[in-house]
Amino acid sequence: MARQCPLEKVRNIGIMAHIDAGKTTCSERILFYTGRLHRMGEVHDGGATMDFMVQEQERGITISSAATTCTWRDHQINLIDTPGHVDFTVEVERSLRILDGVVGLFCAVGGVQPQSETVWRQAEKYDVPRICFVNKMDRIGADFFAVVGQIQETLGANAVPLSIPIGSGPEFEGLIDLMKGVAVYYDENDRGSTIREEPLTEQQAEYMAPWRQNLLEKVAEVDDRLLEKYFAEEPISREEIVAAVRAATHQHLICPVLCGSAFKNKGVQRLLDAIVDFLPSPLDLPPVSGNCLAGKPIERTPKEGSHLAALAFKVVADKHVGKLIYVRVYSGTLQAGTYVLNSTQNRRERVGRLFRMHANRQELVDCIYSGEIGAVVGLSDTVTGDTLCCENDPIVLEAIDFPAPVISVAVQPESRDDLEKLQKALVRLAEEDPTFIVATDPETDNIVISGMGELHLEIILDRIKREFGVAVKSSPPEVAYRETITSAVDIEERLRKQTGGHGQYAHVILHIEPMGPGQGYEFVNDVKGGNIPKEYIPAIEKGIVQAMAEGVWAGYPVVDVRVTLVDGSYHEVDSSEMAFRTCASMAFKKGFMKDNPVLLEPVMRMNVTTPEDYAGSITGSLCSRRGQIQGMDRRGNAQEIKAMCPLANLFGYTSELRNMTQGRASFTMQFEHYEAVPYTIAEEIIEKRRKREQSQRRG
């Protein structure tokens, strides 16, 4: 099957914004006006095409990025609608990695909001050209020009309005097209499909004049030919403005800004025109670069005849077709039924069926051509970030960087019979989402799941219940406490047991003393004169190690002690390895409890980066969590707070920090050392552990 749309008329674009800025509503209008839909659904009633997950429909938010394809002015637009919630930032990250252009949506009331900044920086990271759409001009308090100012000041973009609103809030009637110099109105009786362009009134012309002048100045700055015409006061045509803005957008010199109200069906067609006119086709961008298997850099240009190079950017477990791999083809053609090389894993795989996606619906195709986005079935070993290429000329494309998880919970099935089903579900979900990590704590045997936030993990647990039929209980993961001693002690223990036949006899004298933090454990044999035969010494050490592993005071492993075997005795008939092992364990436990035991807790080194306005609140919050502030440094217009804080007091801190700073602060933490827990807190921890163990035994 031949390519239906020339490559220069392909647009791979995404829509990104803060949560509730109107991305999905805007996507719904795009699909309607391009003829992809014949009936518009709404987010608030759960009918939006792009929000197809049950969890999305219930909450009215986008959780998973959804892809679709539509046509406008004979151009093929491959569209990805991304989530706006910070917990699902991975969906934005992997989408931006493969997109050629992006629409940044801004609420006309909220302006540049915290997540707007985050996704904008992600687009800068991948060097993706952007245009802006100021949405919700029909809302009370809408201020288009204030939002343009915020885009310039907060995001550092050269924001250039191409249209300005006629009225705002309930009085929002339409817009003025600055390039054509006309007033644009939308007929509400047919959902905005009928557009009227009318000459400007005298008042509108006066209102438009400074912004039309601003547009001409901006295009003159980026085009020498237009600069000459501008100074010569010669007229500059709309076609010349479009060409100049397009070139400047690709070079990140200008960021075009449009306005409208997707919910009220106004301005979306002008946005579609801007996508076609200003955002790049695959041919407008540099060739994709990667490495050959020998490590040397190579490039691929977007042509059908060239060698295949495609990137798997998303994995979905589809209940109908199985494992679905979303791919962006950069060069060559991906054909159904052929073999490809997964160069990332050096595996040969067979391409099964190919689909063009429309949200959660698949349209079967024979090929995915260069510059296009589609989905593949049959690649059982492929995961997110893998490169697919031809076997005779392999290339490895740059993988996708994903942020590290920031919150963890321990999970277990409500029924023990469901443990295997739970493990399979977790593996499937972790395969889909690189920011969802599953691990088993070797000390507690807890299954610990980690993600980007509380909502992220809430959605995961809900999916486990609905899609895999496993009811799950969750709780904060147990902290890996330790026990140690603070002073030295000598202890003597004698084991005598007489039963029928051989008895059991062992006698040991131990010296137990603390070691420095982090030094672990040391066993010293200081027995003289063969009072204890050498063959029993390993058994004595095993008994001590066993007692340390089980814990003595609170049931947590013992660390940072040196145990010296000073002396002892044995019986030629009744002594055995088992007897000395048991005796050594008993001696260690008695000596440990005589020697002022303490509970140790993991202390984390934290770096919190925040706007300066929130620094005081953050330091107060850390101190209330038994944190110690180590210092503060300025990082541009932000503050970096360095602190030490016990891990036990950091559960739930991610959500608190986001709420405290409107999502504008972030933090990293890593283990630093173990530190003694205050005695009163240690008693509470031990009591809770005993109650939990009693409850488990009764269960």
Give 405-423 pLDDT, tens digit per residue: 766 788 888 888 888 899 9
- pLDDT beyond 90 at 369: yes
Instruction: Output the six-digit token pair for 439.
Output: 């691990």
**Average pLDDT score, the chain:** 87
Query: CB burial class (10 A; 0-12, 13-18, 19+) of residue 529?
Result: exposed
Residue type, 23: K
Q: CA-CA distance, 654 to 667, in Å (whole number)?
A: 8
Structure-token match 């991948």, residue found: 126
Which range has the top average pLDDT, 260-274, 495-509, 666-680? 260-274
- pLDDT beyond 90 at 491: yes
Query: 698 pLDDT band (50/70/90 cuts)?
Result: low
Report the pLDDT value the prediction gives residue 635, as an integer from 0 to 100: 64
- pLDDT beyond 70 at 58: no
Report the pLDDT value the prediction gives residue 52, as an integer from 0 to 100: 55
Instruction: Output the six-digit token pair for 494.
Output: 């004698």
Give me the mean pLDDT over the 354-370 stretch: 89
Report the pLDDT value the prediction gives residue 683, as an integer from 0 to 100: 85
In this structure, are residues 312 and 417 in contact, taking their beta carbons and an 8 Å threshold? no
- pLDDT tens per residue, range 628-660: 999 988 765 678 899 999 888 887 787 788 788
Q: CA-CA distance, 252 to 243, in Å (whole number)?
A: 14
Higher pLDDT pick, 512 / 454: 512
Q: What is the dihedral of CA 224, 229, 233, 237, to 10 degrees?
A: -110
Higher pLDDT pick, 434 / 43: 434
Q: CA-CA distance, 149 to 139, in Å (whole number)?
A: 19
SS3 category, 272: helix
Q: CA-CA distance, 46 to 59, in Å (whole number)?
A: 9
- pLDDT beyond 80 at 480: no
Q: What is the DSSP letter of 261?
A: B
Report the pLDDT value the prediction gives residue 61, as an integer from 0 to 100: 63
- pLDDT tens per residue, range 19-53: 778 888 898 899 999 988 776 656 545 556 665 56
Give me the mean pLDDT over the 335-364 stretch: 91
Q: CA-CA distance, 175 to 345, in Å (whole number)?
A: 52
Higher pLDDT pick, 93 / 634: 93
**Number of Cβ atoms within 10 Å of the Cβ of 443:** 13
- pLDDT beyond 70 at 553: yes
Report the pLDDT value the prediction gives residue 70, as an integer from 0 to 100: 93
In this structure, are residues 608 and 640 in contact, taking their beta carbons and an 8 Å threshold? yes
514: left (phi over 0), alpha (psi -120 to 50) or beta: beta
Higher pLDDT pick, 260 / 674: 260
Report the pLDDT value the prediction gives residue 663, as an integer from 0 to 100: 74
Sheet of 66-72, strand order: 66-72, 75-81, 10-16, 101-107, 130-135, 255-259, 159-161
Contacts of 144 (CB under 8 A, 6+ apart): 108, 134, 137, 161, 164, 165, 168, 259
Report the pLDDT value the prediction gives residue 654, as an integer from 0 to 100: 77
SS3 category, 592: helix
- pLDDT tens per residue, range 115-141: 788 788 889 989 999 999 999 999 999
Residue type, 587: A
Report the pLDDT value the prediction gives residue 85, as an integer from 0 to 100: 63
Report the pLDDT value the prediction gives residue 72, as an integer from 0 to 100: 95
Output the CA–CA distances (angstroms, integers) from residue 490 to 374, 483, 564, in the order listed: 72, 18, 9
Please, what is the Cα angle at 569 between 565 and 571, to 5 degrees?
140
Residues written for the chain: 699
In this structure, are residues 99 and 313 in contact, taking their beta carbons and an 8 Å threshold? no
Report the pLDDT value the prediction gives residue 442, as an integer from 0 to 100: 65
Report the pLDDT value the prediction gives residue 511, as an integer from 0 to 100: 95
Least confident of 305-319, 615-629, 657-671: 657-671
Query: 362 pLDDT band (50/70/90 cuts)?
Result: confident
| Strand duo 255-259 + 130-135: pairing | parallel
Query: 562 pLDDT band (50/70/90 cuts)?
Result: very high
Report the pLDDT value the prediction gives residue 171, as an integer from 0 to 100: 93
Least confident of 401-410, 424-433, 465-474, 519-528: 401-410
In this structure, are residues 491 and 509 in contact, taking their beta carbons and an 8 Å threshold? yes
In this structure, are residues 387 and 341 in contact, taking their beta carbons and an 8 Å threshold? no
Least confident of 123-127, 148-152, 329-333, 690-694: 690-694
Query: 259 pLDDT band (50/70/90 cuts)?
Result: very high
Q: Output the CA torsion sign for 272, 276, 277, 280.
A: positive
Kindly state the greatest CA–CA separation across the chain: 117
* Secondary element (H or E) of residue 484: strand 482-485
Least confident of 225-229, 295-299, 325-329, 550-554: 550-554
